[in-house]
Amino acid sequence: MVVSRFAPSPTGYLHLGNARTAIFSYLFARHHGGKFILRVEDTDRERSTKEFEDMLLEDLRWLGLEWDEFYRQSDRFDLYRDYADKLVESGHAYPCFCSVEELEEEKKRAEERGIPYRYSGKCRVLNKAEVKELKKRGKGYALRFRVPDGRVVVFEDLIKGHIAINVDDFGDFVIVRSDGTPTYNFVVVVDDALMGVTHVIRGEDHIPNTPKQILIYEALGFPLPRFAHLPVILGEDRSKLSKRHGAVSVRNYREEGYVPEALFNYLCLLGWSLPEGEKEVFSKEELVSLFKLEDVNSSPAVFSKEKLRWLNGVYIREILPLEQLVEDFLPFLQSAGYSADREYVKKVLQKTRDSFETLKEGVERLKPFFAEEVIYSEEALQVLESESSAMVLSTFLQRVRDGELSGERVKTIAKEIQKELGLKAKDVWHALRASLTGETEGVGVDVLCDVLPKEKVLQRLVKAIKLVG
């Protein structure tokens, strides 16, 4: 059975690159009818926090990912200790008593000689008696993996192809720190092996870690999984995606009013060559059925916020069921300080969902439907103070006092006023929009009058007429 996993560290917000990794791992497992595991890698005690872990899980659920098993590395320390002992007993690991100062001095000498630093290996030659004596004296120590000299580790990456790395590039590495906490390269092997992970899908920044992990797999007698390293995501200037390109976390896009289905869909388009030609909108079920690792590009993908925004607008306008759009929109409305009946919000969105591309933008654009009082912009005041506006508004008010108010009736009355007063259409509509919305652009007056309660329309007209005398 295919088993994949996503193993984030709770040291910050969920980055878009990590979110894509999670999605690809999820799609791969679901495509093959396999298992998808979520494992929180919180061995870094200084930087890992419960707050970040909670947000991480919340953002993954928001994206629509569901996992079959969940693990937290901090709950498994006893297990790691047992396997570290096995490596020491078999001679694949040894205690290193070098102090921080000694190691820093080694690094400094390497820098002065202009060569990459690798541990000198001074503690790998200590005999049992020397080790026993140093422990007896209370000397602190870390555990290092004994890397075989001159070995070239070779593996076939499912995305990058043939990769060969000489172990002399890195030397003996720490698997358990002097404070007793295990390191990433060690615990990831123990976890992946014991959890039956068959495919390790992760970012290409992990390629240098892979030979170290393969050596540990071999030392513990575990079968190797298949590795697939995803290319990085670049900004539009072709540099690695970072904060200077704008929002880079899932949380940022949630707060901006992007819907999870659109973000999920868009991240799938980054670096994956879909077989559907020009089609760019896919349901999660379609993506599961289509996903193949061999279709993932080995070259970097370029992130376009403009394209994501366009796709988000498509979901808002055309794809999301109205009830779900209401559900997604309400928190943004409440956050902006507005309160409205759910059915009224539904009525508004039914008429206006094609006028905005993010939920946050929608709240701003649809203020005239929800604001208790109209606040006039400078441009709106200029329109209202024009000679024709007072006549337009007073005539319009007289005509709409009686009978039902609807968008169609508003259009009819506006045409009548235009003809009677000898005005241009824009003069009539600008006056009405300025009085009812406080702006000179935005939501259509006919749409507003189709939804806004009649008494509010009348109140706004009266207020504007008083304002212009």
Pair of tokens at residue 461: 């007209």
Pair of tokens at residue 156: 């076939």
Residues annotated as catalytic are 243
Pair of tokens at residue 349: 């969105």
Question: Beta strands 3-6 and 35-40: pairing type?
Answer: parallel
∠ CA 467-408-398 to the nearest 5 degrees?
Answer: 40
Question: CB under 8 Å to 272, separation ≥6 — which residues?
Answer: 24, 291, 295, 296, 297
Contacts 24+ apart (CB under 8 A), 279-287: 280/311, 281/311, 281/314, 281/315, 281/319, 284/64, 287/27
Backbone angles phi, psi at 133, to 5 degrees: -65, -40
State the DSSP string of 29-41.
Answer: HHHTT-EEEEEE-
* CA contacts within 13 A on the Cβ side of 376: 22
Question: CB under 8 Å to 460, separation ≥6 — which residues?
Answer: 374, 435, 436
Pair of tokens at residue 132: 């026993």
What is the distance between the terminal CA atoms of the chain, rounded to a whole angstrom? Answer: 78
Work out the burial of residue 373: count CB atoms within 10 Å of its CB; fewer than 13 is exposed, 13-18 middle, 19 or more buried: exposed
Reported in sequence order, the residue ranges of 177-288 that DSSP labels E, i.e. its strands, are 199-203, 226-230, 233-234
Q: Is 154 helix (H, G, I), strand (E, B) or coil?
A: strand
Backbone angles phi, psi at 61, to 5 degrees: -65, -40
